[in-house]
Structure 1
Amino acid sequence: MSTRPASSRYQCTTIATALQEARNLLEGLSETPKLDAEVLLARVLNRDRSHLRAWPERTLSPDEFDRFHELMLQRQSGTPVAYLFGEKEFWSRTFKVRPDVLIPRPETELLVDLALTAMTASQTADILDLGTGSGAIAITIAAECPFARITATDLSPEALKVAQENADRLGVRNVRFQPGNWFDAVASDGRFDLIVSNPPYVADDDPHLSRGDVRFEPSLALKGGLHGLDALRIIARDARDHLNPHGQLILEHGFDQANAVADLLEVFGYTEIRHHQDLQGHFRVTTARR
């Protein structure tokens, strides 16, 4: 797959050949070249990936080849697969995503799991999601706990538009979206039983910001200051004034930031500070009580 117009290169290309060329194209550019190629071609063919393995000798039509070629060129340039499709699965739901919002990641499902564990589906609770982005966290909690009242905030108007679109499309009505920076978006006397957040926690000079998919994601949702702790510090400090007695704070953070987050929470007087491991065994989420 070269950068020449696809139509000038079409030569009865099979699924197997197209996938091999795509893998070669993405080798060294993507961490998952084989998976990327299969996912993109399956989308073009409107089939699942098992179809590709069952029919490797099937010939692509010129239109299918052209569409696959265009997607591969965009992926070669670094555009994340989620932005190419405009969607990403999270907690078995499909969320719309655009470059205005961070792409939901599997490790964030741990935060949702801990939030749901703190409640039951029939429980009435007031919950705040800070920096909601696509709305994946807030909408998932709202859908799983229909009697809860969810407030979700974000500084980015564009992100809030995406989040509202996701809530409308998924039929979730018990979440409201508020514009503003962290707690500026809620009333000074607003109180919540649970506050959750996946804030920006990457150090501003982290070299990973210039690599891979994150190059295309909004820096506002990634950069957390010199040590990546700026937003975490603000949330830990101000959440005390917005949590009900014995209310719980749940924070996602970097895989190597658990001790630093615990130190912040201790300074601000929280108790029952606990770290929780993601599927890779990293302490990714910390919980605490007022």
Structure 2
Amino acid sequence: MPGALAAPRSLDHPFPPLLAPDGSLRIPTALPSRPAFKPSNRDQIALDGERVPLAFAQDVLRSVAPSLLESVEHASIHKDRDDDEDDHGDAAASRLVLASTVLPYPTLVLSVPFDDSDELLEMPAHRLVLATLESVLFEPLLDLQDPPVDGNDEQDTHIFFSLPVCSIRLPCRRNWSALHHFIYTHSSSDLLDTLLHTPIPAASSSEPSGSISSSVRHSREAIIDQLEGVRALHLNAATLQIPSAELWDTLRRAWHSLYSVLENAQHP
């Protein structure tokens, strides 16, 4: 069973909230540098009872990423106990999952508590997707075999099966969905579009020329909020020790773009 993954409890590059406790704003002109963690040096993964090159598995997974994401979105977790503990009082090591028979089966349940939220997020996931991120954090998944699935009637559209739980604690609830999408698709354009999406309201024609309009103030607040979203994703990616150069470059570009817009909003 995967169990809890040993995520680092502190980062060597502090990145505090942009709004300080005293109400002052502290917005760096650029993101902190990518943390100096080392990527996994493993180059093979267990697949269908064999060892295959990691690069081969990555190529295959990216080619079927839409189907994998769809399978996660359509699968659901059904608790077969009144509580979440086993007979020894420990966190239950498996979950009962209902999944589509026409999509790739999920192979584990990802359990994610957050430092800044009381929410415990649990979702079906795919071991291979996490294991091929080249993060040392997910190295324990490289050698696991996916759980067997009992045969089902060809007319069945869904099937129940039990999946192991993999737990990882993250700093921020914000923008987890965007990071999760990138983990599956590795689409820099989708991620950048999500991070830069900031509706800009139209200025009111009743405000005198030369004044700082409410729309400008609102735009400034919206941009700062988007910068906080980039910060949250940065902290989560650092905690997961994802070495993807595409990911870190996209975060850097998003921060640079938003900061430039903020500068223009402050000096119209």
TM-score (normalizing by structure 1): 0.23
Does 1 or 2 have the higher relative contact order (CA < 8 Å, sep 6+)? 2
Which structure: greater helix fraction? 1
Provide the TM-score with structure 2 as the length reference: 0.24
